[in-house]
Amino acid sequence: MKIEEFTLERIQSLYENTVEYNLSDSGVHPYSLRELLSPEQQNALLDVELGYGWTNGKVELRQAIANLHPNRTPDHVIVTNGSAEANFLLVMSVLEPGDELVVFVPNYLQIWGWARAIGVTVKEVLLREELGWIPDLDDVRKAVSGRTKMMTVCNPNNPTGSVLPRETMDGLVAIARHHGIYLHADEVYKGAELDQDEPPSFADLYEKAIITSGLSKAMALPGLRIGWLVGPVEEIYASWQRKDYTSITTGAVSEFVAEIAVQPGKRQEILSRSKKILRENLALLQRWVNANGDLFSFVPPKAGGMAFIRYAMPVNSTELVHRLREERGIMLLPGDVYGLDRHIRIGVGAPAHHLETGLERLADFVRSDLK
């Protein structure tokens, strides 16, 4: 099996841990265990037995995740190693060579890459900047056909931070229902909406919806490596069969902490911290874009940890990003990894002084050194 390089992740794994100012992260500055847990919980953590546990996830954790949705039981949930494993199991459980998948781009291209690798035909629906990166339902209607098995959406979207309006969500559900296809939604940024209430989950709108979620992005706990799928019992069971072949279980320590984090009160506390960091940083970024409006512009993100910024300089985005890292010690992601040159992705979940210094260096570089 041939698989295309997952350039987005490759660039990050090569450089993000060594660069001075990493602004390529898409999440929110992570918690430490000390910040997250009460002294009693920290103490209880020391008694966690380091056994294997359940291969589909500890039942209490699956129940707590099911409780985030109406009318769901632990059988509708599988716990995975990060939402990355959830996406992988989804592809391996639902799609087969020769199937057709509809994706939206720009997007986190993990499902796109796995699907192509196993011989699925991937049809792309382009999100347009002038529409606020929201899909045009007519484009979706044209892309979905009798051969389509699944449509997959990332909401809130990576990299643009757009959030689907309720009528667009309903429109996508109507199209999926009309064709009887699966509707998958990666909702790992859900809960980090900045100026609106948290929208519903696709899992609560459509009987053939399967959602990916987890603790890495809006929940600021990526080091736990906890994600999950919620969906119909049969498809969740199929993903469990595949998980026996992949990672067997998630870690006992992570499951213990995750069960605390997903309790409604704690979840809201975590999301409030994320939104506070994101709102403050976004205001800073907006001021910077205003001050540099001759070269940079963007549709401000409605949620999540990043902004997708268009620039006017006549330079390729990958080249720009490598030069910024080598010459100024700051790391961004190039639009190229999303197939959209002349854009850069900037994380807004980093500590404010990182963002501030990074943006200063970026402006200085493009004005003085970029020929």
Ligand X SMILES: Cc1ncc(COP(=O)(O)O)c(C=O)c1O
Per rule CB under 6 A, is residue 227 in the interface with ligand X? yes
Angstrom distance (rounded) from CA 37 to CA 258: 11
CB of 136 to ligand X, least distance (A): 21
Residue 144, CA distances (Å) to 84, 104, 178, 186 in order:
25, 12, 10, 19
Of 97, 147, 101, 105, the C-alpha closest to 129 is 105
Binding mask 237-256 for ligand X (x = CB under 6 A): --------------------
Looking at beta carbons, which residue is closest to ligand X?
A: 82
Per rule CB under 6 A, is residue 340 in the interface with ligand X? no
Out of 222, 251, 334, 335, the only residue in the binding site for ligand X (CB under 6 A) is 222
Binding mask 106-145 for ligand X (x = CB under 6 A): --x-------------------------------------
| Sequence-separated (6 or more) residues with CB below 8 Å from residue 18 | none
Angstrom distance (rounded) from CA 123 to CA 144: 9
Of 10, 4, 20, 74, the C-alpha closest to 331 is 20
Nearer to ligand X, 26 or 317 (CB): 26
Out of 22, 24, 83, 250, the only residue in the binding site for ligand X (CB under 6 A) is 83
Nearer to ligand X, 247 or 297 (CB): 247
Cβ pair 180, 152 in contact under 8 A: no
Out of 57, 113, 161, 214, the only residue in the binding site for ligand X (CB under 6 A) is 214
Q: Looking at 31-164, which runs of residues are DSSP E strands?
A: 77-81, 100-105, 121-126, 148-154
Angstrom distance (rounded) from CA 29 to CA 161: 17
Out of 216, 250, 274, 292, the only residue in the binding site for ligand X (CB under 6 A) is 216
> Judged by CB under 6 A, which stretch of 77-85, 177-185, 247-255, 335-343 contacts ligand X?
77-85
Q: What is the DSSP letter of 252?
A: H
Tell the burial category of 80 from Cβ atoms under 10 Å away from its Cβ (0-12, 13-18, 19+).
buried
Displacement of CA 148 from its chain's centroid (Å): 24
Angstrom distance (rounded) from CA 209 to CA 170: 12
CB of 123 to ligand X, least distance (A): 19
Per rule CB under 6 A, is residue 259 in the interface with ligand X? no
Q: Which residues pair with 126 in a beta bridge?
A: 105
CB of 327 to ligand X, least distance (A): 26
- Other beta carbons within 10 Å of 272: 11
Out of 155, 158, 254, 317, the only residue in the binding site for ligand X (CB under 6 A) is 158
CB of 84 to ligand X, least distance (A): 3
Out of 188, 285, 321, 359, the only residue in the binding site for ligand X (CB under 6 A) is 188
Task: Please count the residues of this chain forming the interface with ligand X, following the rule CB under 6 A.
Answer: 14
Out of 154, 194, 324, 362, the only residue in the binding site for ligand X (CB under 6 A) is 154
- Of 23-52, binders to ligand X (CB under 6 A) are 26
CB of 152 to ligand X, least distance (A): 10
Contact positions vs ligand X (CB under 6 A): 26, 82-84, 87, 108, 154, 158, 186, 188, 214, 216, 222, 227
